[in-house]
A and B are shown apart, each in its own frame.
Chain A
Amino acid sequence: MEKIGEIKRINGSLIIAEGLKGVKIGDIAYVGDLKLIGEVVRISGREVALQCYEDTSGLRPGEHVISTGTPLVAELGPGLIGGIFDGLERSELELWKKAGPFIKKGYRVIPLNREKKWYFKPGVKPGDRVVEGDIVGVVRESKVVEHRVLVPVGINGVVENIEEGEFRVDEPVAEVRLPNGVKREIKLMQTWPVRIPRPYKERLPLAQPLFTGQRVIDTFFPIAKGGTAAIPGGFGTGKTITLHSIAKWSDADIVIYVGCGERGNEMADILTHFPELEDPRTGEKLIERAIFIANVSNLPVSAREASIYMGITIAEYYRDQGYDVGIIVDSTSRWAEALRDLSGRLEELPAEEGYPAYLAERIAEFYERAGRVVTLGSGRRIGSVTIMGAVSPPGGDFSEPVTSTTMRFVGALWALDTELAFRRHFPAINWLRSFSRYVDVLREFWERYDPNWFRLREEALRLLEESSRLEEIARVIGEKALPDEQRLILLVSEILKEGFLVQSAFHEVDRYCPPEKQVRMLRAIMEFYRRASELIKLGVPVERIRGLKNLVELLRLKEKKGLEEIDEAEKRLIEEMEELKAEYSR
Chain B
Amino acid sequence: MSFEERGSEKAGMVYRTVTEVRGPLLIVEGVRGAKYNEVVEVKLPDGSEIIGTVLDTYSDKAIIQVFGRTEGLGLEVAVRFTGDVMRIPLSDDLLGRVFNGSFKPLDGLPDPIGVERREIFFSVINPAAREPPSEFIQTGISVIDGMNSLVRGQKLPIFSESGLPHNLMAAQIARQSTILGEGEEFAVVFCAMGIRHEEYEFFRREFERTGALDRSVMILNLADDPVIERIIAPRIALTIAEYLAFDLDMHILTILTNMTHYCESLRSLSIAREEVPSRKGYPSYMYSDLATIYERAGKIKGKKGSITLMPILTMPGGDITHPIPDLTGYITEGQLIVSRELHLKGIYPPINPLPSLSRLMKDGVGAGKTREDHMEVSSQLYMAYAEGVKARSLARIIGELGLSERERRYLRFADEFEKRFINQGVYENRSIERTLEIAWDLLSMLPEEELIRISEEHIKKYHRKYRLQAR
Q: Which of A62, A234, A341 contacts B285 (CB 8 A)?
A: A341
**B57, B128, B335 interface centre (most CB from chain A within 10 Å):** B128
In the bound complex, do residue B56 and residue A10 qualify as a contact, i.e. CB atoms below 8 Å apart? yes
The 6 closest A-B pairs by CB, nearest first: A395-B321, A297-B291, A423-B386, A268-B130, A101-B129, A57-B37
Contact A61 B397 (CB under 8 A): no
Is B130 in contact with A59, judged by CB distance below 8 angstroms?
no
Listed by A's residue number, 23 A-B pairs whose Cβ atoms lie within 8 Å are A10-B36, A11-B36, A12-B36, A58-B38, A62-B32, A95-B126, A96-B126, A101-B125, A101-B301, A264-B130, A294-B128, A299-B124, A337-B285, A353-B279, A394-B326, A395-B322, A395-B323, A397-B321, A425-B383, A477-B398, A478-B398, A478-B407, A480-B404
Q: Are A56 and B36 in contact (CB under 8 A)?
A: yes
Residues B132 and A265 in contact, CB atoms below 8 Å apart: yes
Taking CB atoms, residues of chain B closer than 8 Å to A261 are 287-288, 291
**Cβ-defined contact, A297 with B295, below 8 A:** yes
B251-271 residues with Cβ-Cβ distance < 8 A to A are: none
Q: Interface readout for A294-322 with B: 1 if CB under 8 Å, 0 if not?
A: 10111101000000000000000000000
A57–B303 touching, CB < 8 Å: no
Q: Is the CB of B56 within 8 A of A559?
A: no
Please state if B383 and A354 are interface contacts (CB–CB under 8 Å).
no
Give the residues from 42 to 90 in chain A that come closer than 8 angstroms, CB to CB, to chain B: 55-63, 84
| CB of B80 to closest CB in A, whole Å | 16
Stretch of B220-228, B357-365, B422-430 contacting A (4+ beta carbons < 8 Å): B357-365
Q: Which residues between 99 and 136 of chain B lie within 8 Å of chain A, taking CB atoms?
A: 119, 121-133
Determine how close the nearest CB of chain B comes to the CB of A248; give it in whole angstroms.
14
Q: Which partner residue on chain A sits nearest B448 by CB separation?
A: A552
Compute how far the CA of A509 lies from the CA of B127 in the bound complex, rounded to whole angstroms: 30
User: Given the interface contacts A59-B35, A263-B333, does A477 sit within 8 Å of B291 by beta carbon?
Assistant: no
Given A298-B124, A477-B398, A481-B402, check contact A61 B58 (CB 8 Å): yes
- A127 beta carbon closer than 8 Å to chain B: no
Minimum CB–CB distance from A25 to chain B (whole Å) comes to 23
Count CB-based A-B contacts (< 8 Å).
Answer: 220
Which chain A positions have C-beta within 8 A of B354? 422-423
Chain B: which residue is nearest A18 at the CB level?
B59
Shortest distance from the beta carbon of B292 to any chain A beta carbon, whole Å: 5
Q: Which residues of A contact B298 (CB under 8 A)?
A: 264-265
Inter-chain CA distance A337–B276, complex, in Å, is 13
- Across the interface, B126 reaches (CB within 8 A) one of A10, A103, A422, A477, namely A103
Taken together as a complex, chains A and B put the C-alpha atoms of A481 and B404 apart, in Å, by 9
User: Roughly how many angstroms separate A127 CA and B278 CA in the complex, as a whole number?
Assistant: 63
Whether the pair B57, A337 counts as a contact (CB closer than 8 A) is: no
Measured CA separation A105–B85 after assembly (Å): 14
Whether a CB of chain B sits under 8 angstroms from the CB of A344 is: yes
Q: Determine how close the nearest CB of chain B comes to the CB of A510; give it in whole angstroms.
A: 11
Bound Cα distance A475, B389 (Å) = 13
Please report B residues at the A interface, Cβ cutoff 8 Å. 32-38, 55-59, 84-85, 119, 121-133, 153, 246, 275-279, 284-285, 287-288, 291-292, 295-296, 298, 300-303, 321-323, 326-327, 329-331, 333-335, 354-355, 357, 359-360, 362-363, 375, 379, 382-383, 386-387, 394, 397-398, 402-404, 406-407, 449, 452-453, 455-456
Measured CB to CB, the closest approach of chain B to A162, in angstroms, equals 36
Q: Does B59 contact A62, Cβ atoms closer than 8 Å?
A: yes
A352 to chain B, nearest CB (A): 11
Complex: A235 Cα to B359 Cα, angstroms: 11
**A267→B130 contact, CB < 8 A:** yes
Contacts A60-B57, A344-B276 given: A395-B326 contact, CB under 8 Å?
yes
**By the criterion CB–CB under 8 Å, are A263 and B285 in contact?**
no
A55 contacts B122, CB within 8 Å? yes
Would A58 and B449 count as touching, CB distance under 8 A?
no
Whether A265 pairs with B288 at a CB distance below 8 angstroms is no
- A301 — which chain B residues lie within 8 A by C-beta? 285, 288
Q: Beta-carbon contacts of A342-367 to B below 8 Å, as 1s and 0s?
A: 00100000100110000000000000
Q: Please, how many angstroms separate the alpha-carbon atoms of A413 and B334 in the complex?
A: 25
Which residues 1-44 of A sit at the B interface, judged by CB distance below 8 A?
8-12
The proximity string for A residues 373-388 relative to B, scoring 1 for CB distances below 8 Å and 0 otherwise, is 0000000000000000
Give the interface centre of A478, A498, A504 by most chain B CB atoms within 10 Å.
Answer: A478
Q: Are A555 and B279 in contact (CB under 8 A)?
A: no
Docked complex Cα distance between A299 and B130 (Å): 14
Instruction: Give chain A residues whose Cβ lies under 8 Å from the Cβ of B32.
Output: 61-62
Q: Digitize A310-339: 1 where CB-to-B-CB distance is under 8 Å, 0 elsewhere.
A: 000000000000000000000000100100
